[in-house]
Structure 1
Amino acid sequence: MNVAIKVFNLQIEGAFRSFDIECEAMRNILHRNLVKIITCCSNVDFKALVLDFMSNGSLEKWLHSENHFLDILQRINIMVDVASALEYLHAGHPTPIIHCDLKPSNILLDEDMVAHVGDFGIAKLLGEGELMKQTMTLATIGYMAPANCISSIMELALNCSSELLEERKDMKDVVATLKKIKQNFLNKIEQV
């Protein structure tokens, strides 16, 4: 078994809190698209997490390097993986978790190019009362125009980044929409 070790620099302000939050957020979480914490090491002057090793590194490496390339199907699969992880964090776990630092460097890819969301150092764990006001939005799965794959993804991205929360889709609908986009893409490939 290959593992990665995340050692916290305790000289940096907030490192103790970041370690505690990450341990609390991830201790009972099991989802195929979240980086698994195997164990942790903690004493007064040393804190570290032992994590599953992700052999393909971060999504950032794949997006911003001339040596790596993601085709459209891989990109869609990564979007579905990340959206599935967020849906689970927001609505599929007894204590909703808001990641607060989702970016390509915090999305890791395993040997099969399956995306795993990691680095929960500034995550926010919500109580039940906070669930509705902070993670739920009013949206329904709507008609997806038979446009090409890229414009469908862009349309979804614009919806997800709307300034008004009530205009955004919730994560369950985002996952469903991404799966529809992927299926439409695969259907078009088969027709060619």
Structure 2
Amino acid sequence: MTRIVVVDNHGQFTHLEHRTLRDLGVDVELVDNDTPPEDVDADGVVLSGGPDIDRAGKSAEYVDFDGPVLGVCLGHQVIAAALGGEVESGDYGGYADVTIDIEDAGDPLLGSLAPETRVWASHADEVVDVPDGFAITASSDICGVEAMSDTDRDLYGVQFHPEVAHTERGEEVFENFIDICDR
């Protein structure tokens, strides 16, 4: 059975990431963000959303995890910042229904989604420049980097929240991540 650890960055939807993965038949564990990667035994890691990049604990250390890593919202920003990308305050702060454009139909995380997919996202902070090795895999009218992937290192990030009901085909994003972990 696939085992995925969700690193809790104290976001309001972290429990939904855990539950979605559990409901998809994954052996899933929720650990606090002060847990070092070397203490985690898993096929993959999800870095959850959260209120503040300065309170992300050891999350940045997971960019070197020996397995796929998916960053959600703050987790996405942590990956970018840890690897030399740039994160700034967004022009749109609160949660909103956003239509993203899938930029790469071959991307293993998002390529199966519709070319235009509605998602639930917060843009208080956002990635404005991706690190070397990453491709932008989704964008929107309000955010140029709604998602990014580095398939060589199995690092993936999404600005939006696939775990909430407002995101179309959000469960499919997690199914795709499980497939990545099972490769």
When normalised by structure 1's length, the TM-score is 0.28
**Greater radius of gyration (CA):** 1
Which is richer in strand?
A: 2
Which is richer in helix?
A: 1
